[in-house]
Structure 1
Amino acid sequence: MALSNSLRPSSTLLWDSVNKQSFTYTSTSYGYLTNGREASFFRTPAATVDVNSFVPSPSDSGFREQSPIPKLQDTAEGITHLRAALNGRDAMDRPSSKNNANRYHKQREAQLSSAMATNKTFSLSSLYPLRGSDLFALLRRDFDMASSLAEAACNVADILLNQMSSFTKLQHSTDPLVQLAGNCTPVCETSPTICNVRGKLPDDLVGAYVRNGPNATYMNPGEGFHLFDGDGMLHAVKMKDGKAVYCCRYVKTARFKQEEAAGRPLFPKLFGGSGEPFTFARTIILAVRVALGLVDISKGCGLSNTSVSFFRGQVLSMSEDDLPYIIQITESGDLVTVGQYHLPGIKYMCAHPKFNQITGEMFSFSFTPTKVLPFSVLRVSGDGLISAHIPVPLRDTPMLHDFAITGKYIVFADHQFMIRPFKCLWGGDMLVQNHDKTPGVGLLPRYSLPSDAAYKFQWLCTPACNCMHFLNAWDDGPDQVVVIATSTTSIEALTNVGGSKSTCSLMEIRLNTETGKATPRPICAGNFEFGTLNQKYLGKKSRYMYVTSGKFPDISAIVKLDLELGKNNASGRHTSVARETTVVAKRKFGDGCIGGEPFFVPQMRSEGNGKGKQDEDDGYILCYVHNMLTEVSELLVMDAQTRDLQIIASVVLPSRVPCGFHGWFISEEQLEQQYNRNSL
């Protein structure tokens, strides 16, 4: 079925002032602007355009010719033009609707104006419902373009559902105009590009720093969207001989490839759809597509947007809604998705595995909502074989995101934030907070057998400690376990990114396995979330932590903490209140700058250099920072031992790096391992 000429969409030239490039937007009235790519919803070839003189393609049958937009400015005119582009018609020709719809439209315009004040590029859904002529033309075109009657029926159902949902008022936590504001706005892929370096990169800093994060691609008009719903995008800087190469690529998941081939969203948004009245209908449409063979969910439908790890000579991109994806870092610095990392009988794996650098083992956990005991601990040998698969007897289904290991135990949090994966499918809230529940921490002996878990698992209550991220844990004597973790006061920190009033503090929790008593204390006053340490000390007693300061995504500084300074100097015992003296170094990014999670890279020392044992903090801190005022993104390389975390070098990146989550440094030796593995 071919697209008739009378329904040809019009094209508009837009200017991405952040990435300093022009791109074509192909309007469809159904569609949206997506990542600065050619945004025809059905992959219709865009018209040839010229930067200096652009004339849009003529259109009819409800699609009005648009005014040229040679440059998108932060002005009222720019907002008007953008609104026109997003709707495929004159922006002032609004649908005649009821008063409540008009009020909602004005509210959305105000949100767009606010977003325009801090953004230069956008990825937004359609702002208004379609007019009758537009809807008829779009239905006709979608029917013509489908390869089968079944596909056409599903596409038409999509359009009708989007028409109804366009009148729904979106919450702050699920409105794409809010969720994708500031430095959360998506970006285009960038091929390997040689970067300018300010200062001098250390000679021993050789490898690639890769960070993961969400980058929105496809969304339906009127559908709720949360930052966590973005497709995974990797940002990598490969460094060697004082030179740096930057590249960013989508993780080509099974879900991403199917939506890219279809040119439209096929899967409901897990977080954005939470609490939305039309989520159940979108789930039904997906189920019909699966039943008709139009969508394949057998290979997973995760986003792979959370973290990066390295295991058995392979770089892994991870999120807990799927299996890891294997990423190849080429010699040129490009990022290539190889495929899934398969584990027999496992469909999901957490995004924060832990590694034993001596044995080569990987510890992780899996969540399978259809099982009686949905959480299972995984122990994978250095040969890649599952040596243990142990169900964890949790009291209910908390949203487990991270865990910790010591020499003797695996440590889990049983917090108040509950996950309801099936409830969200019919419009309920996927994440809820049970205020009546007392949070706790669970200990499972590290080398337990599956038959032992039921009676060897020990629970200890930790009031007011909702631990989401674990920085480290270690054994302290025969009956003491020390846990360093972040604690969040409210589930708003997860569901309302950028608008949450909740705080996140760094806690030390001392667990007495003999008495069953837990003693939590704040390590330092402040709002901390993401953190790192010298990975050589994972599962062992460590002294230094490097954490972010400020509420995500507005991270304003990196702070170095000395845990030893949290002790009472006179008695040697730990104090029960937070002490500012634990802060021994701090790097503020400056006005208009937004940073990300830090990562510690130990300094590489050659033998015979005349130095003794290497200090725990002898190394570098890597961190992406974007300056919203100058529109420049950089990778900062800081000296971890200096009082102000002195910047040794700065890699100036060719495009913006949006806010993201977790990263990993792949050493030169590890890069060689993956090259050798891929050549076999």
Structure 2
Amino acid sequence: MTNRRQFLGFAAMCLASFPALADSAGDLSGSATVLGRLPPDLNGIFYRNGPGRYALGGERYHHLFDGDGFAQRWQIADGKVSHIGRYVATQKFEEESKAGRFLYPAFGTYVGRKGVKNNDTINVANTNLLPFNGGLYALWEGGSATEMDPQTLATRGIKTWRKDLKAMPFSAHPKMDPEGGLWNFGNMPGADQLLIYRLNQRGEVTRTAMIPVPQLNMVHDFVVSGRHLIFLLAPYDMRPGPERSLGESLYWEGDKRPLRAVVVAKDTLTLRQVFELPARSVFHLGNAYEDGACTRLDAVLHDGDALVKTALEVRGQIRPVSAYGSNTVQITLDYASGQAREARLFGVSEFPRVAPQVVSARHRKLLVLGASGRELILDSVNLIDTDSGKVDGYAFGAGWEVEEHVLVPRRGARSETDGYVVGVAQDKHHGQTVLTVFDAHNIKAGPMALARLPYRAPLCFHGNFLAT
């Protein structure tokens, strides 16, 4: 029983977190009841996105990453909070809704009823929601960004940043550049190629590069420092086959290959160096910065195959799995020695974030979710001092499941904690989705305010706060 509980731990925000509406094509709209007091200077929109529909026509997906995107918009203004949620009307979502059944393959579930023309045929737009240059984009790492209306969340359609980049992968984890614009990448599993993008603040592609990387498979996130782009590559082997999804084609090779840190130079967009670390898997990274002749970066590393941890079912059966662990670590890449060192910062955790004003620069605070109970459900919000190792944290406790939180600086903020921590949590006791607001300088005091919706909304993976 212990192994099964740990198997469900990271994916605890899976089936149990989704109300019945998550498998229907219904919009959401409502006002939240605010308990406590929202800070008067906290005004803005918290955009969120995650998988919604997992079942259609009597069939159910097998993996947490498969569901069609459900975008959410939390408006905070004048001490009040309102919420809307809508499915992203991708080609896949519209065609399958009309047909009343799944037609195309998903990440972890093979469906082959209709042919796939390109990456955007199967784009589920279910991972992040990015406000950028006055627009709003639902992101999924396997294909194009999908543009949405920032006010209504109506789907406008596929965003092609440049004609020759049509339908190319555009990851769900772009990094804003302090000089304006953003960096992003596209991963092409099986082709051993990383596509690098640099967009200016007007959304124009100013630089691209195709970088060959041997044995390149799943890459979900990256970090950008002052001089480098850094990718962590877990030891998966691609073994495609008939009636096999992408997720089912990735085989764990941790007993044969290491975890690799691939460093790309920003000035030339060429491979600079590759470091090796003990084999583990990884979804999310925090931030990176230069420290003399080294680069330091934060990451959440999982023991063993984390894709198994996020599986829901395989042909109706729970997939067996041994005990797992995860840790937030700071990795130091020493270019002179070619060695990578790591220091543990926190235990079982996920979803690392830093304050937006320190992205790619020296940071001293790292925000992560943690698990305070035995069942490893993410239920706590923690701000780590990366210099001292001290943690300022708050645990919601049993019956709560916490989603990604973000740091929101005050205007003119003078430090990384001069502002607020804003996020979303699922209160299973009352069947409500709740917006949470903390004072970033005092997380342990608990939420300054909780804004409770009168319903449960689907889980979101990632999002961003846009101050107004």
Same fold (TM over 0.5): yes
State which of 376, 379, 382 in structure 2 corresponds to 1:556: 379
State which of 304, 308, 315 in structure 1 corresponds to 2:125: 304
Q: Look up the SS of the partner of 2:65 in the other structure.
A: helix
Q: Deviations 1:54-92 (Å, cap 9, x if unpaired)?
A: xxxxxxxxxxxxxxxxxxxxxxxxxxxxxxxxxxxxxxx
- Are 1:647 and 2:465 matched, yes or no? no
Structure-to-structure mapping, 1:161-560, within 5 angstroms: 181-187=15-21, 189-219=26-56, 221=58, 224-273=61-110, 282-283=111-112, 285-287=113-115, 299-330=120-151, 334-344=152-162, 345-346=164-165, 347-358=168-179, 360-369=180-189, 371=191, 373-420=192-239, 422-423=240-241, 425-426=243-244, 429-435=248-254, 436-449=256-269, 453=270, 456-477=271-292, 479-497=293-311, 501-524=323-346, 526-550=347-371, 554-560=377-383
Using the alignment, how far apart are the partners of 2:119 and 2:296 within structure 1? 41
1:565 is aligned to 388
Amino acid at match of 1:516: G
Change (3 A) 1:219 1:490: farther
Q: Look up the SS of the partner of 1:335 in the other structure.
A: coil
Using the alignment, how far apart are the partners of 1:211 and 1:222 within structure 2? 26
Using the alignment, how far apart are the partners of 1:222 and 1:193 within structure 2? 30
Report the count of equivalent residues. Answer: 442
Contact 2:354 2:366 (8 Å CA) reproduced: yes
1:571 is aligned to none
Using the alignment, how far apart are the partners of 2:410 and 2:297 within structure 1? 26
1:149 is aligned to none
Using the alignment, how far apart are the partners of 1:659 and 1:553 within structure 2? 17
1:93 is aligned to none
Q: Deviations 1:283-318 (Å, cap 9, x if unpaired)?
A: 2x323xx6xxxxx75853211111122222212111
2:407 is aligned to 600
Contact 2:237 2:252 (8 Å CA) reproduced: yes
Using the alignment, how far apart are the partners of 1:361 and 1:418 within structure 2? 34
After TM superposition, give the deviation of residue 457 of structure 1 in Å. 2.5
Using the alignment, how far apart are the partners of 2:236 and 2:460 within structure 1? 22
- Judge which range, 379-388 or 178-187, deviates more: 178-187
Using the alignment, how far apart are the partners of 2:156 and 2:452 within structure 1? 28
Using the alignment, how far apart are the partners of 1:394 and 1:431 within structure 2? 17
Amino acid at match of 1:381: N
Using the alignment, how far apart are the partners of 1:210 and 1:307 within structure 2? 9
After TM superposition, give the deviation of residue 369 of structure 1 in Å. 4.6
Which of the two has greater strand per residue?
A: 2
Change (3 A) 1:643 1:268: closer
Amino acid at match of 1:183: S
Structure-to-structure mapping, 1:134-153, within 5 angstroms: none
- Judge which range, 641-650 or 504-513, deviates more: 641-650
Change (3 A) 1:337 1:186: farther
Structure 2 unaligned spans of 5+? 1-6, 313-317
Amino acid at match of 1:512: D
Change (3 A) 1:424 1:362: farther
Structure-to-structure mapping, 1:32-71, within 5 angstroms: none
Using the alignment, how far apart are the partners of 1:652 and 1:409 within structure 2? 41
Change (3 A) 1:646 1:513: same
Using the alignment, how far apart are the partners of 2:251 and 2:119 within structure 1? 29
Amino acid at match of 1:459: V
Q: Look up the SS of the partner of 1:460 in the other structure.
A: strand
Change (3 A) 1:308 1:617: same
Using the alignment, how far apart are the partners of 1:298 and 1:468 within structure 2? 21
After TM superposition, give the deviation of residue 414 of structure 1 in Å. 2.1
Amino acid at match of 1:368: M
Amino acid at match of 1:615: S
Using the alignment, how far apart are the partners of 2:140 and 2:38 within structure 1? 31
Q: Deviations 1:540-573 (Å, cap 9, x if unpaired)?
A: 110111101129993111111101104xxxxxxx
Change (3 A) 1:219 1:466: same
Q: Deviations 1:314-365 (Å, cap 9, x if unpaired)?
A: 12111112211112222xxx3222212212233211110111132x221111
After TM superposition, give the deviation of residue 199 of structure 1 in Å. 1.8
Using the alignment, how far apart are the partners of 2:13 and 2:29 within structure 1? 28
Structure 1 unaligned spans of 5+? 1-171, 274-281, 291-295, 567-581, 606-612, 669-680
Contact 2:260 2:274 (8 Å CA) reproduced: yes
Using the alignment, how far apart are the partners of 1:201 and 1:470 within structure 2? 30
Contact 1:528 1:549 (8 Å CA) reproduced: yes
What TM-score do the two structures reach when normalised by structure 1?
0.61
Using the alignment, how far apart are the partners of 1:502 and 1:629 within structure 2? 27
Change (3 A) 1:298 1:586: closer
2:3 is aligned to none
After TM superposition, give the deviation of residue 402 of structure 1 in Å. 0.4
Change (3 A) 1:214 1:457: same
Using the alignment, how far apart are the partners of 1:232 and 1:547 within structure 2? 24
After TM superposition, give the deviation of residue 487 of structure 1 in Å. 0.7
Amino acid at match of 1:194: S
Contact 1:624 1:657 (8 Å CA) reproduced: no
Q: Deviations 1:105-146 (Å, cap 9, x if unpaired)?
A: xxxxxxxxxxxxxxxxxxxxxxxxxxxxxxxxxxxxxxxxxx
Change (3 A) 1:565 1:619: same
Higher RCO by CA contacts (8 Å cutoff, separation 6 or greater): 2
After TM superposition, give the deviation of residue 374 of structure 1 in Å. 2.7
Amino acid at match of 1:649: A
Using the alignment, how far apart are the partners of 2:70 and 2:396 within structure 1? 24
Amino acid at match of 2:397: G
Using the alignment, how far apart are the partners of 1:245 and 1:652 within structure 2? 10
Change (3 A) 1:521 1:464: farther
Using the alignment, how far apart are the partners of 2:427 and 2:369 within structure 1? 17
**Where does structure 1 differ by over 6 angstroms across 4 or more consecutive aligned residues?**
none
1:37 is aligned to none
Using the alignment, how far apart are the partners of 2:74 and 2:435 within structure 1? 8
Change (3 A) 1:239 1:545: same
Structure-to-structure mapping, 1:68-107, within 5 angstroms: none
Using the alignment, how far apart are the partners of 2:40 and 2:241 within structure 1? 53
Using the alignment, how far apart are the partners of 1:470 and 1:185 within structure 2? 29
- Root mean square deviation of aligned Cα: 2.6
1:620 is aligned to 420
After TM superposition, give the deviation of residue 223 of structure 1 in Å. 5.9
Contact 2:284 2:299 (8 Å CA) reproduced: yes
Q: Look up the SS of the partner of 1:268 in the other structure.
A: coil
After TM superposition, give the deviation of residue 448 of structure 1 in Å. 1.1
